[in-house]
Amino acid sequence: MDQDILYHLALGSGSHDLRRMFGDVKFVCMGGTPKRMEQFAYYIMKEIGHKLPAGTTLLDISQYSYRYSMFKVGPVLSISHGMGIPSVGILLHEVIKLMYHAKVKDPIFFRIGTCGGIGIEGGTVVISEEAVDGMLRPYLELPVLGKLLQRPAKLDRQLARDLKALAHPEDPYDTIIGKTMCTYDFYEGQGRLDGAFCEFTENEKMEYLSKVHKAGVANIEMESLSFAALTHHAGIKSAVVCVTFLDRLKGDQVMAPKEVLDEWQMRPQQLISRYITRYLQRKGRLSVEGHGSMCVKSPRRYKLVQQESENYD
């Protein structure tokens, strides 16, 4: 092809110098909302001692896509992936291609998120050892050309252990490793009674949640299956770290105050930050100058990519 247009990132291999923009990336951190990932970008910038040039600010590199937000802080990319398996899958396809075009060597991908716990209190940090679907199957099932494709949803076990080792004894919360169940729906798929439709009883719900709990499932969310399957298929080391907002064995609705939820959301970010900081310290790469700015190879193609991303549905 003449150039590879990454529609949903508003980037292109012919319009942007992707190697110059992203060639130094080591960590790709993904989370649900643009606001959360912008906050993480500023947080990790402070933690690794990254300095922006005077008079500049963080740039949302994918602002013209109107779909995802992407911020670059030295060797760290912070990207919003939206909600659910389709959204994170689309993003991963394009970010994996971005890593290829930028000639990035051995990147590490993290999903930083929120979830519902099963048998554990709100505020607990869960590091996923593997992802399973609502039938407890450890693979992503995807219809491709009329056939069902199955991709194993594997995460890096050593990376999970390394992250667990960074939990501090003085942390006022527990950090655990467990299976993560990934569903295609927030309400019926997760056994909630408070959706627009509910065709099962509370007893049936509790029987199901108890079953998955006994199978080693610690939490439920909606992205890990795709995240694990696609990163494993690409040979990329990856981990999923989420904080629980409630114990689903005790209810369906999140009742904690906003300020409490805001503090809980920082907990996975802190753990990932500890890993990144330790890695960069060992490599002597802290206090990096520069930031994620646009490096345009072809102004004409750059404008075309902008227009394609703005109009693409």
Give per-residue pLDDT as tens, 169-219: 999 999 999 999 999 999 999 999 999 999 999 999 999 999 999 999 999
Per-domain boundaries in the chain: 5-311
Q: What is the pLDDT of residues 146-171, one digit of tens each?
A: 999 999 999 999 999 999 999 999 99
Higher pLDDT, 261 or 305: 261
pLDDT of residue 71: 97
Asked if pLDDT for residue 45 goes beyond 70, the answer is: yes
Mean pLDDT for all residues in the chain: 92
Q: What is the pLDDT of residues 82-132, one digit of tens each?
A: 999 999 999 999 999 999 999 999 999 999 999 999 999 999 999 999 999
Contacts of 273 (CB under 8 A, 6+ apart): 43, 44, 47
pLDDT band for 302, please (50, 70, 90 cuts): low
Helix ranges (H only) for 68-201 are 85-101, 157-165
pLDDT band for 140, please (50, 70, 90 cuts): very high
Asked if pLDDT for residue 9 goes beyond 60, the answer is: yes
Higher pLDDT, 64 or 243: 243
Determine whether the annotation assigns residue 111 to a binding site: yes
Nearest to 181 by CA among 210, 219, 213: 219
Determine whether the annotation assigns residue 67 to a binding site: yes
Determine whether the annotation assigns residue 39 to a binding site: no
Instruction: Provide the CATH topology of domain 5-311.
Output: Rossmann fold (3.40.50)
Residue 139 three-state SS? strand
140, 154 Cβ separation under 8 angstroms: no
Query: Per DSSP, what are the bridge partners of residue 148?
Result: 143
Residue 237 three-state SS? strand
CA–CA dist 311, 313 (Å, integer):
6
pLDDT of residue 286: 64
pLDDT band for 2, please (50, 70, 90 cuts): confident
pLDDT band for 295, please (50, 70, 90 cuts): low
pLDDT of residue 283: 84
Determine whether the annotation assigns residue 248 to a binding site: no
Compute the average pLDDT of residues 47-68: 90
Asked if pLDDT for residue 292 goes beyond 60, the answer is: no
Asked if pLDDT for residue 271 goes beyond 70, the answer is: yes
CA–CA dist 231, 96 (Å, integer):
8
Asked if pLDDT for residue 290 goes beyond 50, the answer is: no
CA–CA dist 288, 291 (Å, integer):
9
Determine whether the annotation assigns residue 112 to a binding site: yes
Higher pLDDT, 272 or 302: 272
Q: Phi and psi dihedrals of 115, rounded to 5?
A: -165, 175
pTM score of the predicted model: 0.90
Amino acid (one-letter) located at 11: L
